[in-house]
Structure 1
Amino acid sequence: MAPKIQARWPIADESTPELVLERFSPEQTYKTKVYTALKHAIANMDIYSSPEPTWIDERQLSERLGVSRTPVREAIAMLEQQGFVKSLPRRGIIVLKKTKREVIEMIQAWAALESMAVRLICQRASDREIARLRTIFQEFNDAHKPADYPHEYSTANIRFHQTMIELSGSQILAEMTENLVLHVRGIRQITIGRDDRASKSIVDHLNIIEALEKRDIAKAEAYARDHTLGLADYVAKHSEGIFD
């Protein structure tokens, strides 16, 4: 009988090459944190409410965030690559607005992504999760009409659309819509108070919710898509003061 050979695993000190790892520096760690904080702040800016440009100051950001200017500069460079801001020599950093055509195309893209989101909600979300959508509008009724409280309703409106993306359970959809939020959100806020659009908007939302509750994918997709494309059509026809 051949002698039994006992396996011997190599000892790390003998054969494993030393891994060359660099310790994370505070600047590298802060860059990601600063980027996330700054992107969130920009997404919540109301940049379309005024024709005046919106500027951000690197030094002030550094002071308010309590970090050096290096991670702030790096975060701004990342945001510039994504088309959120632009650094102008000797002038500062401007938050970029889109043209009318670009905004319409972004809304159209949002409509396509949101129609897929409602399909996924029908397939994946629980009844309890879908019920969250109704609670967003529970304060609005005949005595508390959306048209009479446009700012309040605008906030609920944005939360409704963001919640639908969340309930889809798709991280990819969340990432794809993230960069659209700044512009689509801003346009929704401005237009919701015009031409009694808030009254029609809440009816559209309730139709979407009812279709989701019934797991009617075809109707949910159609309602969601038509609702958002209605915003694109409105912007195409009534964008005075927004892009002028």
Structure 2
Amino acid sequence: MRTSQRSSSESAANGSLTLERFAPEQTYKTKVYAALKQAIVAMDIYSSPEPSWLDERQLSEKLGVSRTPVREAVAMLEQEGFVKSMPRRGIMILKKTRREVIEMIQAWAALESMASRLAAERASGEDIAELRRLFDRFNEAHKPADFLSEYSAANIEFHQALVRLSGSDTLVEITSNILMHVRGIRQITIGRDDRATQSIGDHLAIIEALESRNVDAAERLSREHTLGLAKYVEDHGDIFD
């Protein structure tokens, strides 16, 4: 029996915790994957028709690691449909087609509406109040439509916080992969057809339902709000041209 196996067996027999040291490459791969995924989610990839690119060498230098964990992390992201490695060109961040985006928004509507229902049941009054405070600075003198960048940030923060308030780690995890595309579409549609004004009204109605612990209304209003985005994308496909 090898020493490590004997040691593990002895530890188990003694009732002590059995752990094995991580391989450095595995640790770096996991950290690089998490860092890259977070950076990609934060990018506004739908604001321009041009593709967004990543460079392996630059990523390695910026993260302070060798290229091996970068390649491994990119391979993981490629399997998840976030990026595609293009020989001699670099790593392209993938965008979704209009139909794919609509389906992702519909999935988000289903997940977030359940999150809203759970939040109405579980979230503390203080946490719900934090949602309202996101929009306190917007009023007739400081209209969302006149401060689109600022409102867009508050808009995204609202939807992320709403899912977190469900108290469901599973919902948070599932929505994390959808978020990159949904947030990008929200950002480029929010300034069209006075959608910012409608958006803040929808948000405040959802918050009122949460405050009154009206689980059915919170679920319905959240679903209708997000499906409205899906309908807008369906009707205005030019944003993908």
Q: Above 0.5 in TM-score?
A: yes
CA distance in 1, matches of 2:151, 2:20: 50
Letter in 1 for 2:115: A
Q: Superposition pairs for residues 1-244 of structure 1, below 5 Å? A: 17-19=6-8, 23-240=21-238, 242-244=239-241
Shift in Å, 1:128: 1.2
SS at match of 1:211: helix
CA distance in 1, matches of 2:21, 2:119: 42
SS at match of 1:19: helix
Letter in 2 for 1:32: T
CA distance in 2, matches of 1:19, 1:74: 29
Q: Percent identity?
A: 71
Letter in 2 for 1:69: R
Shift in Å, 1:98: 0.3
Greater share of residues in helix: 2
Shift in Å, 1:22: 5.8
Could you report, residue by residue, the CA deviation over 1:34-57 in whole angstroms, capped at 9, with x for unpaired residues? 111100000011110111111100
CA distance in 2, matches of 1:219, 1:87: 45
TM-score, with structure 2 as normaliser = 0.92
Shift in Å, 1:156: 0.3
Distance 1:166 1:22, change over 3 A: closer
The size of the alignment, in residue pairs, is 228
- Structure 2 unaligned residues grouped into runs of 5+: 10-18
CA distance in 1, matches of 2:127, 2:43: 29
CA distance in 1, matches of 2:20, 2:159: 42
TM-score, with structure 1 as normaliser = 0.91
SS at match of 1:18: helix
CA distance in 2, matches of 1:23, 1:142: 58
- Structure 1 unaligned residues grouped into runs of 5+: 1-15
Larger radius of gyration between Structure 1 and Structure 2: 1
SS at match of 2:96: coil
CA RMSD of the aligned region, Å? Answer: 1.3
CA distance in 2, matches of 1:90, 1:146: 43
Shift in Å, 1:243: 1.4
Shift in Å, 1:139: 0.6
SS at match of 2:240: coil
CA distance in 2, matches of 1:24, 1:220: 44
Q: Write out the 4+ residue segments of structure 1 that deviate beyond 6 Å after TM superposition.
A: none
